[in-house]
Amino acid sequence: MRRLFPILLPLPALFLLIAWQGFVTGVPQRLFLFGSPTQIFQVALQELPQAAIWHDMGVTLSALLAGLALGTLAGTAGGLLLALHPVARAVSRPYLIFFGSVQIFTLAPLLVIWFGIGWGAKVAMAALVTGFVALQQAASGATAAEQHYLGYARSLKADPSRVMWHIILPGALHWVLAGLKLNIGFATLGVLVGEFISAEDGLGHYIFKASGVYDVPRVWFGVLLLCLMALALTAIADWATKRFLPLQGH
């Protein structure tokens, strides 16, 4: 079965593309509304040699990575602080529930006011979304590690710094890495929302501009590039998870 996997993997995508092309062929209205794989391929041949599309990809990718890194680091630090202070954790719990129930993307207009329409607003949106998730993951992971091992470490009168480095921090990072793939999706969506609302470049701006003139093939091409970018980052996160999570048990 494993030998057949590389052959079977592209078949659903191939079937979808053939069905899509057959659905719109010969029907101008459908072709206008949905585009076609052949049109998207033609757009790719036109756009990829141009520097502009690579610039847009670079802007989106840099904002995504910066927001993801900033949000993950800040959220992990905040989660560890909450895990180390039970009183602060208990006091902050209703606030975390409150902000968790709020759609973070509704704050996008405020972020545009605070950070403008440039690169900073995109990074802020991605960091805000990913930071909240990382905070919850880090706090939950550190608390779970604390419940399992901290009592035993205290009974042995272990040094607090060693408890932090060998029990609490690995437990938090275990959960943060496990949620990293989820955060990549949130960061991508955060950057995309920022570029939709107000931006001068980036893939979100490219998609929004193409949709404004009903250029459906270019919209699909921009979406495809964004998906490939997210898939590549997810593959890297998956590798990091498999590489580092086994260390949790040592």
Q: What is the DSSP string of 33-87?
A: HH--HHHHHHHHHHHTTSHHHHHHHHHHHHHHHHHHHHHHHHHHHHHHHHHH-HH
Q: Is the pTM of this model over 0.85?
A: no
Q: What is the pLDDT of residue 149?
A: 59
Scan for tokens 């403008």, then name that residue.
116
Q: What is the pLDDT of residue 133?
A: 81
- Nearest CA to 104 out of 136, 73, 77, 78 is that of 136
**Alpha-helix residue ranges (DSSP H) falling in the chain:** 5-8, 11-24, 28-34, 37-47, 51-84, 86-101, 108-115, 119-145, 151-155, 160-163, 169-178, 180-197, 203-212, 216-244
Q: Are 150 and 164 in contact (CB under 8 A)?
A: no
pLDDT by residue (tens digit) across 151-179? Answer: 555 555 555 566 566 666 666 677 777 77
Cα separation, 34 vs 217, whole angstroms: 8
Q: What is the pLDDT of residue 171?
A: 65
Q: What is the pLDDT of residue 145?
A: 58
Report the chain's mean pLDDT, rounded to a whole number.
81
Cα separation, 201 vs 230, whole angstroms: 18
pLDDT bracket for residue 58 (50, 70, 90): very high
The CATH code of the domain at 56-249 is 1.10.3720.10
Provide the 10 A C-beta neighbour count for residue 141: 27
Q: Does 236 have pLDDT greater than 80?
A: yes
Q: Does 121 have pLDDT greater than 80?
A: yes
Q: What residue segments make up the domains of the chain, in order of their start?
A: 56-249
97 vs 160 pLDDT, higher one = 97
